[in-house]
Amino acid sequence: MPEGELKEAVKHTEHMKAAVRSKVEHPFRVVKRRFGYVKVRFKGLLKNTAQVLTLFALSNLWMARRTLMASAGEVRL
């Protein structure tokens, strides 16, 4: 791509997309690695949706565990 305004605009756009991806992909990694969710187990959309929502709620707690434990007065890893 030649130098100029277009190149800078494309670089900025790609940087913004990468920033969003990095924030979004971390919870998916936690759900897959920490909680072992790689395949759906239940029949029916409602049951699978409930399980995924629960796992992402647990993922949020897992990622905030150090902050939560520090505010409780004890820090364990």
Mean pLDDT, range 16-25, rounded to an integer: 91
Instruction: Identify the pLDDT of residue 14.
Output: 94
**pLDDT band, very low/low/confident/very high, at 76 (cuts 50, 70, 90):** low
Query: Half-sphere exposure of 26 toward its Cβ, with a 13 Å CA cutoff?
Result: 9
Domain ranges of the chain: 5-72
Query: Is residue 38 pLDDT above 80, yes or no?
Result: yes
Query: Is residue 44 pLDDT above 70, yes or no?
Result: yes
Distance from C-alpha of 22 to C-alpha of 26, rounded to nearest angstrom? 7
**pLDDT band, very low/low/confident/very high, at 74 (cuts 50, 70, 90):** low
pTM, 2 dp: 0.64
DSSP 64: T
